[in-house]
Amino acid sequence: MEQTNATIRFDGREFECPIGSNLRSVLVRNKVTLYNEGARFLNCRGLGTCGTCAVEVRGKLSVMTRIEQTRMNLPPLKGHYHLRLACQATVQGDLDIAKHEGFWGEKERERGPLQST
């Protein structure tokens, strides 16, 4: 049987959403702290231009849109291959999500919370 809902895990919390949901919408709706510092007020509201909704994701997401590829190739997100823009991605299966520190969430620790030992 085809999976219709996905489980999202974030910082010890767990919630569900329909497959195909926009990841940013799901996180905001579930009151996840998606934006750090002033990015809470200074973000593009999902247009894919600011990059401040970057999160580390383990699990199945949609492929990157052209807008996401373009933004992820600009500083300070360039080279952060574990990060995705929540506003540009749709949920395709169960996910583990982490938000790192820094204005964009770009300060990945040496061993992030989603990296296995």
Q: Does 48 bind ligand FES (CB under 6 A)?
A: yes
Q: Candidates 43, 77, 91, 100: give the one binding ligand FES (CB under 6 A).
A: 43
State which residue, 51 or 106, has the beta carbon closest to ligand FES: 51
Q: Does 44 bind ligand FES (CB under 6 A)?
A: yes
In this structure, which amino acid lies at residue 54? A
Q: Does 87 bind ligand FES (CB under 6 A)?
A: yes
d(CA 12, CA 100): 15
Task: Identify which range of 8-16, 44-52, 89-97, 107-115 contacts ligand FES by CB under 6 A.
Answer: 44-52
d(CA 101, CA 110): 12
Listed residue (111, 94, 21) closest to 57, CA to CA: 94
d(CA 87, CA 24): 5
* Residues near ligand FES (CB under 6 A), total: 13
Minimum CB distance to ligand FES, residue 91 (Å): 15
DSSP 101: B
Q: Which residues contact 110 (CB under 8 A, 6 or more apart)?
A: none
Q: Candidates 23, 51, 95, 106: give the one binding ligand FES (CB under 6 A).
A: 51
Compute the Cα dihedral for 61, 74, 45, 39 and give only its sign: positive
Q: Does 46 bind ligand FES (CB under 6 A)?
A: yes
Q: Which residues bind ligand FES (CB under 6 A)?
A: 43-44, 46-53, 71, 85, 87
